Structure 1
């Protein structure tokens, strides 16, 4: 599966966007439309391990780490039935103070697995995720 990167400017402060990215770690149902269930299995100083359940009974664990210095939250698949790899959510602030979100999906198909998804689906999902996260941050910033 190819790597997908999606960017979007966000009309919110870096602090608001960072708070949303941290919330996304422990409350995925607010950000992933088809998340049926989520459970935090471990908590550490820089992140969590959570179990996520999606439609069709797809359940997997992922390690999620936050690095405030770099402005990244990294989701690493631990035991997904089809894929392995990461999704990185990156908060960037330009010298002019503009805030941008970048989501990078880098998944590969596990050995002996078949990917029966439409090849455009992962890109559409990551695009939707960026836009949904942007809308939430902007609404929080504007008190809505």
Structure 2
């Protein structure tokens, strides 16, 4: 499990609205995202397919996304290498500050070793923070 927490200069409600927006428009929040398709959507979950490009790889994945205030969970349904989930959690600090934590709990399917890319998690959190504060 890899985790990164930061404070966002925005209200809890604004951050929450952006996390919900992130479900259908992840390219605004996650580095390297393209080709996003919503496969299924209802009041309980969204199933999403997207491609993530890094300098090393191009990966297409499918996620089942659940959301209850104030947690969004991105469960991997299809991924060539990993299984697991990502949680986006937020907590009230003050009227204009919200604590945001992303937790990646991915394991390699073949070896069952945990993915341990702290830099990737940090970059995703900071890109999300920047987008929320600027929009």
TM-score (norm 2): 0.87
- Name the CA distance, whole Å, in 2 between partners of 1:79 and 1:54: 13
| Unaligned 5+ runs, structure 1 | none
Shift, 1:82, TM fit: 0.4
Q: Which structure shows the bigger proportion of residues in strand conformation? A: 2
Structure possessing the higher radius of gyration over alpha carbons: 1
Q: Secondary structure in 2 aligned to 1:78? A: strand
2:45 aligned partner: 47
After superposition, the Cα gap between the structure-2 partners of 1:114 and 1:91, relative to the gap in structure 1 and judged at 3 Å, is: closer
Which structure 1 residue ranges, 4+ long, deviate > 3 Å from structure 2? 112-115
Q: Which runs of 5+ in 2 are unaligned?
A: none
1:128 to 123, 126, 133: 123
TM-score relative to the length of structure 1? 0.82
CA distance in 2, matches of 1:113, 1:131: 28
Structure 2: distance between partners of 1:59 and 1:110: 16
1:75 aligns with 2:70: no
Is 1:28 matched up with 2:26?
Answer: yes
CA contact (8 A) 1:46 1:66 kept: yes
